[in-house]
Amino acid sequence: MMMEPLTAEKPDTLSNRTSLDFHGYELLLLRKLQSDSALCMEWRDKLQKKIADEDYDLGDIPHSLWFLTVTLVRKKDRLLQFVQKQLEQAAKDYKARRICLGETLLTRYLHSHMFTELHLDGIYKYGDDNTLPPEIFRCPSITWLSLKYNYLDRIPPDIGQMANLEHLALTNNKLQNKSIPYTLIFCHNLRTLLLDNNLLDALPGFLLKMPSLETVHRHGNHNYFKSTFMWYHTDVNERILSIGHVSDFVMRQPETLQFWATQAVIGSKVNFYRDPAVAPVLREYITSIYTMFNVCVYCNTAKLLNQAGYKVITFKNPYLGNTCVPFQHWACSLSCAMGVEIPARYEQIKAARELDREYDAYVESCQKQYRVVYTSPDGKRLEHRPMIIPHQRRGCGFHQSCHCVLL
């Protein structure tokens, strides 16, 4: 587990309470208190006494509650104010005989502040239950989410609720292509996406439908460069790979009308978190089973993971300042796969030919710039141009211009 030094941040005081960031130690504290009601009551009483008497000694905090210690050092005022508000609210609810269903301690804490940044790096150790709580994705004001070094093997579809998200850091996890849900496309303001040091063979194809993206980091991924060169230089027919039916995938039978409605909504690719035509209760159900489906890149079809389909590899050159960037898509049929791969291939050929044209123009300009005119001993006027070793062009047009050598 990665833990920042306690001296790296100023304590939270009345004169220094302008930060709108939420940190991993706060998340671990609230999650622990939620799961242990007795512990929650014990520390609620102690913190209540601390609120009433600033000199009250909380006593020794056990090492297992290190996140409480860090929170008291860094965000003391914020925590004590939250405890005070919860006590006051509990008294009002008891007097009015109200019961708040579905609200967790984490939900109330997040909603009590207009957080704009969630810094949740390195909060899980290897082997921990690193399931991300859905509450963190329901904060409409969040613009920055960092989840580095958490051994994450999937991102929940709830990420699509973060409409104002601009920066998403997923560096140093265990994410594969299927680990990143299509719902990320609902984050229309996302500008920066960090995917370094994961297990990606290519970038998710739906990123091409996110024009807001300005920066995508992808280096250090498992077999990324190997896969890039394999698919780039292979026969184009091998860029469409059939994925067979999986017989051991377990499903409930028979399925309900709600299930079929959910499948249709997922296939339509509409933002069901924002669409008023989708009932709130159905949104929760869609989120709960979203990862059971593959979404076709070409048509409005969603199929269960066990059903046959096609994996499609395309290249974008250039893409956000990078060359030869591979993308992986899923298609429900061969015709849909070809509908994606063929236009992408033509675009790639066109881009390669344009690069060849630019390179030839560059070579010609170099010849003119560096030509040498001199007179031979017998008085003849001679001109020397640098020789260019010509590169061979492949007839298919896929080959990028190689670097010719001036002699």
The domain locations on the chain are 6-224, 238-345
Q: Looking at residue 349, what is its pLDDT? A: 85
Question: What does the block give as tokens for 34?
Answer: 């939620």
Quote the pLDDT of residue 119: 97
pLDDT at 248: 54
Query: pLDDT above 70 covers what percent of the chain?
Result: 77
Q: How confident is the model at residue 167 (pLDDT cuts 50, 70, 90)?
A: very high
CA distance 26 to 401: 53
Residue with the two structure tokens 């680990």: 179
Model confidence at 225, pLDDT cuts 50, 70, 90, reads low
Residues forming a β-bridge with 382: 374
**Percentage of residues in the chain with pLDDT exceeding 90?**
46
Check the CA dihedral 136-138-141-142 and report its sign.
positive
CA distance 333 to 340: 11
pLDDT, position 116: 94
* Coil vs helix vs strand at 213: coil
Instruction: List, for residues 234-283, the tens digit of each pLDDT value.
Output: 666 678 989 876 655 555 566 788 999 999 999 999 999 999 999 888 89
User: Which of 65, 67, 53, 70 has its CA nearest to residue 11?
Assistant: 70
pLDDT, averaged across the chain: 82
Class of domain 6-224: alpha beta
> How do residues 118-159 score in pLDDT, each as one tens digit?
999 999 988 888 899 999 999 889 999 999 999 999 999 999
The helix/strand/coil state of 331 is strand
pLDDT digits (tens, 9 = 90+) for 151-165: 999 999 999 999 999
Q: How many whole angstroms separate alpha carbon 403 and alpha carbon 390?
A: 9
CA-to-CA distance for 94 and 96, rounded, in angstroms? Answer: 5
- pLDDT band for position 1 (cuts 50, 70, 90): very low
Predicted pLDDT of residue 265: 95
Residue range 319-348: mean pLDDT, rounded = 90
Cα separation, 218 vs 399, in Å, equals 23
- Contact by Cβ (8 Å): 283, 296: no
At position 383, the amino acid (one-letter code) is E
pLDDT of residue 254: 66
Spell out the long-range contacts of 319-322 with Cβ–Cβ below 8 A and sequence spacing 24 or more: 319/216, 320/213, 320/214, 320/215, 320/216
In the structure, what pLDDT confidence band is assigned to residue 404 with cuts at 50, 70 and 90? very low
Q: Please tell me the distance from the alpha carbon of residue 251 to that of residue 125, in angstroms, as a whole number.
A: 32
Per-residue pLDDT band at 333 (split at 50, 70, 90) = very high
How many other β-carbons are positioned within 10 Å of the β-carbon of residue 295?
A: 23
d(CA 29, CA 219): 34
Are 258 and 285 in contact by the 8 Å Cβ rule? The answer is yes
**Cα(206)–Cα(38) distance, integer angstroms:** 46
Q: What is the pLDDT of residues 8-19, one digit of tens each?
A: 344 444 334 344
Torsion of CA 51, 54, 56, 62, to 10 degrees: 70
pLDDT in tens, 170-199: 999 999 999 999 999 999 999 999 999 999
Highest mean predicted confidence (pLDDT) among 254-258, 344-348, 365-369: 344-348
Q: What is the pLDDT of residues 16-74, one digit of tens each?
A: 434 489 999 999 999 999 989 899 888 888 888 888 888 777 777 889 999 999 999 99
Amino acid 260: pLDDT = 92
Determine whether 170 is exposed, middle or buried from the number of CB atoms within 10 Å of its CB (0-12, 13-18, 19+): buried
pTM for the structure as a whole: 0.81
Please list, in sequence order, all residues whose beta carbon lies within 8 angstroms of the beta carbon of residue 303, skipping any fewer than 6 positions away.
293, 294, 296, 309, 332
Nearest to 312 by CA among 293, 331, 332: 331
Distance of alpha carbon 305 from alpha carbon 319, whole angstroms: 29
The answer to which of 125-139, 210-224, 236-250, 343-357 has the lowest mean pLDDT is 236-250
Q: Which residue has the higher pLDDT, 187 or 225?
A: 187
